[in-house]
């Protein structure tokens, strides 16, 4: 894309998009261009439609991936090429409401016990104990741990938002042991990545190996620890608005999925059949 790529990258930077998002958008713009072997300036709505259908029908990509591709091309035409009409009427692919995988408390314990490295065990423990996204856990700093107020300060979360989440008493104890052994300086979990902190790919690899070693057969990722954190909080009676705050969700709608996941809550519900013929049945008329 040459000069156009540079313009789009500058526009993304000016708009305040984060590095990962800029890279994703530029990659989709490049793939779109390569697919038709023509510059985007010579194409428009028909080509964008055809390309998105190609991603859905031929490449069988997920709705989340297609939505990202659409957003990238929308930005390209709307902001960089100043042709908003090309993408104004493009439908947005509906996102299926799938329930996230959740590990039980016993499974979380087995998973953590399967990690031999104290450092990597601490990373996964932090993701679960505080409901962190994997990128948030990788980028934790020592000063983010507020032991006086029992809070963890999460910087630059999704959407560039900062927030506070809970600092577990048990996690704090393990962190103090970890500090005494490793003496981390800038990053809580240093690594060999460009920034100096542990990389996302390393955490994903450690998690995958621990999943196999622990004998857990559920389809899970490090993000499953965040889902499990939220679900277990709900099952302990924590208000859903509090869960929204510690997860950093911009909308309560995103948090409410856990009300469907909490099988323990569903299991406590009594069917009206169970009260027929009893004194409680009077409320049924």
CA angle 169-262-161, nearest 5°?
60
Task: Write the burial class of residue 25 (CB in 10 Å: 0-12 exposed, 13-18 middle, 19+ buried).
Answer: buried
Hey, how many other C-beta atoms are within 10 angstroms of the C-beta on 83?
Answer: 16
Task: Write the burial class of residue 165 (CB in 10 Å: 0-12 exposed, 13-18 middle, 19+ buried).
Answer: buried
Between CA 28 and CA 171 the distance in angstroms is 40
Q: What does 142-187 look like in DSSP terms, one character per residue? A: GGGEETTTTEEEE-S-GGG--EEEE--HHHHHHHHHHHHHH---SB
Residue 185 among the catalytic residues = no
Residue 149 Ramachandran class (φ > 0 left, ψ -120 to 50 alpha, else beta): alpha
| Cβ-contact 148, 141 below 8 angstroms | no
The catalytic position among 24, 121, 226, 232 is 226
Hey, how many other C-beta atoms are within 10 angstroms of the C-beta on 11?
Answer: 18
Residue 260 among the catalytic residues = no
Pairing mode of beta strands 151-154, 145-146: antiparallel
Tracing tokens 């690594």 back to the chain, one arrives at 191
Between CA 198 and CA 86 the distance in angstroms is 41
The catalytic position among 121, 133, 139, 227 is 133
The catalytic position among 30, 141, 223, 265 is 223
Residue 139 among the catalytic residues = no
Residue 249 among the catalytic residues = yes
The catalytic position among 155, 158, 174, 209 is 158
**Catalytic site residues?**
133, 158, 223, 226, 249, 258
């Amino acid at each position: 894309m040459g000069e156009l790529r540079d313009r789009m990258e500058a526009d993304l930077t000016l708009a305040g998009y984060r590095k990962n998002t800029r890279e994703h958008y530029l990659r989709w713009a490049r793939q779109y261009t390569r697919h038709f072997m023509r510059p985007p300036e010579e194409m428009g709505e028909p080509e964008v439609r055809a390309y998105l259908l190609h991603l859905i029908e031929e490449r069988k990509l997920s709705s989340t991936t297609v939505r990202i591709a659409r957003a990238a091309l929308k930005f390209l035409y709307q902001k960089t090429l100043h042709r908003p009409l090309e993408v104004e009427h493009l439908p947005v692919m509906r996102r299926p409401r799938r329930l996230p995988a959740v590990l039980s408390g016993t499974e979380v314990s087995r998973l953590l016990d399967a990690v031999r490295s104290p450092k990597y065990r601490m990373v996964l423990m932090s993701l679960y104990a505080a409901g962190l996204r994997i990128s948030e856990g990788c980028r934790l700093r020592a000063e983010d741990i507020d032991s006086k107020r029992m809070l963890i300060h999460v910087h630059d979360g999704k959407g560039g938002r900062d927030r506070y989440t809970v600092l577990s008493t048990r996690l704090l104890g393990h962190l103090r042991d970890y500090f005494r052994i490793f003496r981390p300086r800038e990053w809580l979990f240093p690594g060999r990545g460009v920034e100096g902190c542990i990389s996302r790919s390393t955490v994903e690899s450690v998690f995958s190996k621990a999943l196999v070693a622990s004998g857990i057969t559920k389809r899970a990722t490090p993000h499953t620890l965040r889902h499990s954190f939220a679900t277990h909080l709900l099952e302990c009676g924590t208000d859903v608005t509090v869960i929204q705050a510690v997860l950093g969700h911009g909308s309560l709608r995103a948090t409410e999925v856990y009300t469907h996941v909490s099988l323990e809550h569903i299991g406590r519900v009594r069917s009206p059949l169970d009260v027929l013929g009893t004194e409680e049945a009077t409320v049924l008329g």
